[in-house]
Structure 1
Amino acid sequence: MSESSETAGKDVKKTGRTASKEVRRRQLIDATIESISKYGISGTTMTTVTSFAGMSIGIVNFHFKNKQTLFEETLRFLAEEHRDQWRRSVRNAALTPEAKLLAIVDAHYHPSICNRKKLAVWFGFYGEAGYRAAYRAIMSEIDEERWNVSTVLCREIVAEGGYDGIDPEHVAETLEGLYDGFCLNILIYPGEFSREDAKARIRDYLHTVFPQHVAPAPVPGKGG
């Protein structure tokens, strides 16, 4: 069982029976993440989930009417967790537009968001034809919100820096592609590509676009 599931179990003791339903739902979602990361989408069943969760099939059916619902709620949980991570920084009024943009980058590669188990789930949904429609339905609004926020921040930087010929929407679109591509590198080549590598390369890209506002990533071993 994952660390978050163990934490959820402790919360039951703290909050009593009134919280048990939400806590058990979270435990089942954590168990689904564990199962998909180990067995993939097609290999994950209610039995593998209950095995990781330490619960009966009846409890799963009480909280989720079927496997489709459980999978969709798991994806929704990951999407909202990710969104909440970057929203917290962007809503800090003290940050400059470029600092907020870099905060969105950092949020993508936060250890609680970008780890092998959760990346395996994300790419499991990407690659499973039967779940692509559900993926688009759940993710479209959240992805669009992030893209819109990034576009507005890029627009503010362009206006402040007088960056002629820079299209804020194109920058935001490029960032979205880099996020996904580097996450795939982290999943496929964990010994060769890290979260820090991803953040550094995206920062270098932003430096080439907004040189007055974003410094290049520090060279390892040379400080900065």
Structure 2
Amino acid sequence: MEPVRKKQLIEATLEVMAEVGYHGTTISLISKRAGLSSGIISHYFGDKQGLIEATMRHLLDALKITQRIDDPLERIDFIIENNFSQTQGASSATNTWFNFWALSLHNEGLHRLQCINHKRLERNLAFSYRKLLKPEQVKNAASSTAALIDGYWLRYSMGSVGNGDFSEAVARCKQYVRDLVAQYGR
């Protein structure tokens, strides 16, 4: 029952943060949304901060590569698509990511999670780029691709372009990768 309740609380946290932001999010609002007592949050997560960190880990887990993809270009495509997936682009996830990024500037636990996410993305990209590019190009390609993913995700999520439709952002990121491979490939 514990995993089910934790999932309910994490989903409720995503919804509440999407509606009222981090500062408006309270244990009471989360527990009401989840249909559970507020004491259960303390029992499972310690406090609001523990629940927020668990919610961020939930979003980060959705970005993990869970399948084996041998072709390096297909693997990079998967990473790009996964970062622009419906899960990451849903309004509740989007608002939580915005809060997460802002809070990570001042919160050690969230900053640590942000660093883990950033390093994981670059490591995963570099792993595939090593098979596609000259060695001296790998680090820059991974870093630039990660920045491109983050930048397009931010622009498209804020609605300044694309109206929440990530298909153009995905296509542009994939084209960038192909251009890199054409220019610096082995």
Write the deviation string for residues 141-177 of structure 1: whole angstroms up to 9, x where unpaired.
Answer: 3432331221121121115xxxx9x611111101111
Alignment match, 1:88: 66
Cα deviations by residue, 1:161-210 (Å, 9 ceiling, x for unpaired)? xxx9x611111101111121111122211773421011011012122212
Check conservation: 1:46, 1:67, Cα contact below 8 A: yes
- How has the CA–CA distance of structure 1 residues 213 and 27 changed in structure 2, closer, same or farther, with 3 Å as cutoff? farther
Aligned to 1:222: none
Residue 197 (1) aligns with residue 168 (2) = yes
Distance 1:213 1:111 in 2: 32
Q: How many residues get paired? A: 184
Unaligned stretches of 5+ residues in structure 2: none
**Partner in structure 1 of residue 6 of structure 2:** 25
| Maintained 8 Å contact 1:27/1:53 | yes
Partner of 2:84: 109
1:185 to 125, 133, 155: 155
**Structure 1 residue 211, shift from structure 2 partner:** 2.9
Structure-1 separation of matches of 2:90 and 2:181: 29
Q: Say if 1:119 and 1:183, in contact at 8 Å, map to a contact too.
A: no
User: Does the Cα contact within 8 Å between 2:103 and 2:110 map onto a contact in 1?
Assistant: no
Which structure has the larger Rg over C-alpha atoms?
1
Q: Do the aligned partners of 2:41 and 2:48 also contact (CA within 8 Å) in 1?
A: no
Question: What is the alpha-carbon root mean square deviation over aligned residues?
Answer: 2.4
Higher RCO, 1 vs 2 (CA within 8 Å, ≥6 residues apart)? 2
Pairing partner for 1:69 from 50, 57, 76: 50
Higher mean C-alpha deviation, range 145-154 or range 172-181:
145-154
Alignment-derived partner of residue 24 in structure 2: 43
Deviation at 1:61, TM superposition (A): 2.2
What TM-score do you get using the length of structure 2 for normalisation? 0.88
Residue 53 of structure 1 is matched in structure 2 by 34
Task: Give the deviation of 1:212 after TM superposition.
Answer: 8.0
Looking at structure 1, the residues matched to 39 and 169 of structure 2 have their Cα atoms a distance apart, in angstroms, of 42
Report if aligned partners of 1:125, 1:131 keep a CA contact under 8 Å in 2. no
Residues in 2 aligned to 1:62 and 1:145: alpha-carbon distance in whole angstroms: 30
Identity, in percent, stands at 23
- Rounded to whole Å, the distance in 2 between the matches of 1:113 and 1:119 is 6
Which whole-Å CA distance do the structure 1 matches of 2:105 and 2:138 have between them? 34
CA contact (8 A) 1:178 1:202 kept: yes
Matches of 1:23 and 1:98, distance apart in 2: 37
